[in-house]
Amino acid sequence: STALNYLEEVMHYYRALWEHNIAVDIISPDSPLTDYDLIVAPLLHMVTAAQGAAIEEYVAGGGTFLTTYFSGIVDEHQRAWLGGYPGPLRKLLGIWVEEFDPLLPEMTNRIVVAEGSRVPAGTYTCSLWCDLLHLEGATAIATFAEDFYARRPAVTEHRFGAGRAFYVATRTEPRFVSTLVESLLDELGIEAPLVGAVGVEVTQRIYEGRAYTFVINHRGDKQCISLPYAMRDLLTNTLHETTLELPGRGVAVLFAPLAVG
């Protein structure tokens, strides 16, 4: 499908993390992975044998890895991996991708999540691409609802060593991505610096043991953000003890007087 767009797919998952106010590092596939609790690698089309081994080692050691359809297809020389897709990620993910079903722009499918799954049960729209896959140790979180691959796995989870690997075999609607990402963040104990309403962006930088927290209210109305400890707004020199009130389109740069983190 000519509609495959790597940057769009990366943004699909980045947005879910951004909406949860989780800081994201963009790293090379050859970068060390052990500093991260969660690695999200959508559309990882090219994977070398060394990269596949490094990801296996990362997950076996307790890491969590999430990738999507059309991953593990070719090596560094653009040669298709023999032995079935997703190539060097097949053992790690516990799946075998038998075939692809690229969808026309006007076509959609649905995935179904059963009760008791890690994401809320229900039906979610999907589009663009669907993998026809077989389970080889993984378990299905969701299945396709329509077409000749109805009831086949659409989203999978595989326990590998001390960690887990997830595979999303289609382009799901943002609502599903958000709930899946949220479930992983909760399980891994990855938290935002501050919790605000949707539309309130929070990022944090640590310098010499002190936290500087940037809060941007993208909404038009006033928002109240609870603070875990007293923080000073460097833009107004106001000390906020327990709550920050931010006007519509307002910005604050908060500094913790005591060293944290």
Residues 31 and 51: their CA atoms lie apart, in Å, by 9
Average pLDDT of the residues in 228-253: 96
**18-40, pLDDT tens digit by residue?**
999 999 999 998 999 999 999 99
Q: Is the pLDDT of residue 257 over 80?
A: no
pLDDT of 64 reads: 99
State residue 1's pLDDT score: 59
- Per-residue pLDDT tens over the stretch 187-222: 999 999 998 888 999 999 988 888 899 999 999 999
Is domain 200-255 classified as CATH 2.60.40.1180? Answer: yes
Is pLDDT larger for residue 259 or for residue 89?
Answer: 89
- 72-131 pLDDT per residue, tens: 999 999 999 999 999 999 999 999 999 999 999 999 999 999 999 999 999 999 999 999
- Estimate to the nearest angstrom the gap between the alpha carbon of 132 and the chain centroid: 22
Phi (first) and psi of residue 11, to 5 degrees: -65, -30
Determine which of 56-60, 109-113, 256-260 has the lowest per-residue pLDDT on average.
256-260
Strand partners, 135: 95
pTM above 0.85?
yes
pLDDT tens figures, 214-228: 999 999 999 999 999
Residues 160-181 pLDDT 10s:
999 999 999 999 999 999 999 9
Q: Token digits for 25? A: 């590092």
Residue 210: predicted pLDDT: 85
The percentage of the chain sitting over the pLDDT mark of 90, rounded to a whole number, equals 92
**What is the pLDDT, as a whole number, of residue 196?**
83
Start-end ranges of CATH 2.60.40.1180 in the chain?
200-255
For the domain spanning 6-188, the CATH number is: 3.40.50.880
CATH 3.40.50.880 maps onto the chain at: 6-188
Beta bridge partners of 166: 66, 157
Q: Is the dihedral of CA 30, 133, 131, 146 positive or negative?
A: negative
What's the average model confidence in pLDDT over 131-146?
98
